[in-house]
Amino acid sequence: AVANTAVKPFGDAFVRLIKMLIIPLISTTLVAGVTAMGDPKKLGTLGARTIGMYLVTTFFAVNLGLLVGTFFQPGAGVDYETAGAAAIDSVRGKIETADAAGGIVERFLQIIPTNPIESLASGAVLPTIFFAILIGIGILLAGAVADPVKNFFEAASEVVMRITMLVMELAPYGVLALMTWVMATQGIEILWNMGKLAASLYLACGLQIILVYGFLIIGCLLKLPVKQYLRGIADAQGVAFSTASSNATLPVSISCAENNLGVDKSVAGSVLPLGATINMDGTAIYLGLIALFAAQATGIDLTAMHYFMVALTATLVSIGAAGIPSAGLLLAATVLEVIGIGPEQSVLVIAFIFPFDRLLDMMRTVTNISGDAAVACAVGKWDGNLDESVFRSDTEV
């Protein structure tokens, strides 16, 4: 109770402060980022590389999750039908809300805002990204007449970045307050109830961060020091871990990428907002694990085709899921369906896991945003938009 009344408001205040910055940051940084590229064609190359890298990292993630889940058997001997009726009802409502965004086609259509001002006002991230990119392209196409607008967005993005850095001064306190609250409310029961699922997720996510992002991408592909990458994103990881939301972490991710990793504004401002909504490797790992968990608990034998379909749907759902707490779990039914688990049964699985989801969500969100940052470094380096002296330096902002 003490943690709820005394500590939680500090954490909440911190979360509100960073959420306050999301829309102003995307709408200024992204426009400034696009205009800084100077040529709309570069945007195509950047976009293709970014999406390519996002798919590659998610491919590794899904397979890692399935590998770890097959090895550790997190669902063996679990009886998930024990969730209470009240819990099941509340989860059912949440699943419906999560599904309300419609099918995958509908979700893609909604990226195009019919009213951009409304998108800004309601904090819709993808439509805001879409419109901001177009504004940037419009400025480039208009040429010299648009210089005042261009300068405005450049200056505005600088202003919002300063505010972000001010808010970041509070990060240690905010993270501490949120962590105290999580520890006090989540308890340690998870270790008994969901131990193997949690251990599998933490292990697979840890491997994804260290091996795929650190060793493969930063070390082998980019020939940069892994230690500096991990140090550079530590703040963002702390905020991701304590908020369990990629969206809320976005301002911090952008600030870390620019100020600690030396990624140019044009890259950080475009690659990271996109990544926060479509690149969710921790979520992809988790969805694969949940499928294996349910199959093992119900004794379904999985064929190679099942594995393939799980990998495919986990990837798609991770792309479609929003960067908010528990989004991944609430959309798990799509993945469970391909191994033959019906809607009613998947509500039971989800309701069984839901009470413990926060601790799992924290780790997958850390993975989600670490992947975005690694891809931002890669894309930045490839088009000469990564300042290696900043990346390699020991000073952090």
Residue choice 91, 140, 271, 327 for contact with ligand ASP (CB under 6 A): 327
* CB-CB contact of 31 with 153 (8 Å): yes
**Residue 166 beta carbon to ligand ASP: minimum distance, rounded to whole angstroms:** 24
- Picking from 361, 95, 367, the residue whose alpha carbon sits closest to that of residue 207 is 367
Q: Is 328 in the site for ligand ASP (CB under 6 A)?
A: yes
Q: Is 251 in the site for ligand ASP (CB under 6 A)?
A: no
Which residue, 46 or 248, has its beta carbon nearer to ligand ASP?
248
Q: Measured between alpha carbons, how far is 318 from 323 in angstroms, rounded to an integer? A: 10
Q: Is 283 in the site for ligand ASP (CB under 6 A)?
A: yes
**Residue 261 beta carbon to ligand ASP: minimum distance, rounded to whole angstroms:** 20
Burial of 170 (0-12, 13-18, 19+ CB in 10 A): middle
Q: Is 321 in the site for ligand ASP (CB under 6 A)?
A: yes
By Cβ distance, which residue is nearest to ligand ASP? 328
Residue choice 218, 236, 244, 263 for contact with ligand ASP (CB under 6 A): 244
Q: Is 289 in the site for ligand ASP (CB under 6 A)?
A: no
**Residue 145 beta carbon to ligand ASP: minimum distance, rounded to whole angstroms:** 40
* CB-CB contact of 394 with 65 (8 Å): no
- Picking from 280, 277, 282, 290, the residue whose alpha carbon sits closest to that of residue 332 is 290
Q: Find the distance separating the first CA and the last CA of the chain, reported in whole Å.
A: 35
Query: Contacts with ligand ASP: how many residues (CB under 6 A)?
Result: 17
Which residue, 31 or 209, has its beta carbon nearer to ligand ASP?
209
Q: Is 258 in the site for ligand ASP (CB under 6 A)?
A: no
Q: Is 368 in the site for ligand ASP (CB under 6 A)?
A: yes
Please give the structure tokens belonging to residue 324.
């908010």
Residue choice 119, 164, 200, 246 for contact with ligand ASP (CB under 6 A): 246
Cross-strand partners of 321: none
Task: Kindly compute the dihedral angle of the four CA atoms of residues 303, 304, 306, 312, in this order, to the nearest 10 degrees.
Answer: 170
Q: Is 326 in the site for ligand ASP (CB under 6 A)?
A: yes
Cross-strand partners of 263: 386
Question: Using only C-alpha atoms, what is the Rg of the chain?
Answer: 21
Residue choice 323, 352, 356, 385 for contact with ligand ASP (CB under 6 A): 323
Q: Is 253 in the site for ligand ASP (CB under 6 A)?
A: no
**Residue 201 beta carbon to ligand ASP: minimum distance, rounded to whole angstroms:** 10
Q: Is 245 in the site for ligand ASP (CB under 6 A)?
A: yes
- Amino acid at site 271: V
Which residue, 255 or 283, has its beta carbon nearer to ligand ASP?
283
b/e per residue 178-203 (b: at least 16 CB within 10 A) = bbbbbeeeeeeebeeebebbbebbbb
DSSP helix, strand, coil percent of the chain (3-state; round to 5): 80, 0, 20
Q: Is 15 in the site for ligand ASP (CB under 6 A)?
A: no
Q: Which stretch binds ligand ASP (CB under 6 A): 11-19, 84-92, 162-170, 325-333?
A: 325-333
Which residue, 261 or 324, has its beta carbon nearer to ligand ASP?
324
Q: Is 291 in the site for ligand ASP (CB under 6 A)?
A: no
Q: Which stretch binds ligand ASP (CB under 6 A): 6-14, 181-189, 279-287, 343-351?
A: 279-287
* CB-CB contact of 195 with 293 (8 Å): no
* CB-CB contact of 222 with 377 (8 Å): yes
Site of interaction with ligand ASP (CB under 6 A): 244-246, 280, 283, 286, 321, 323-328, 361, 364-365, 368
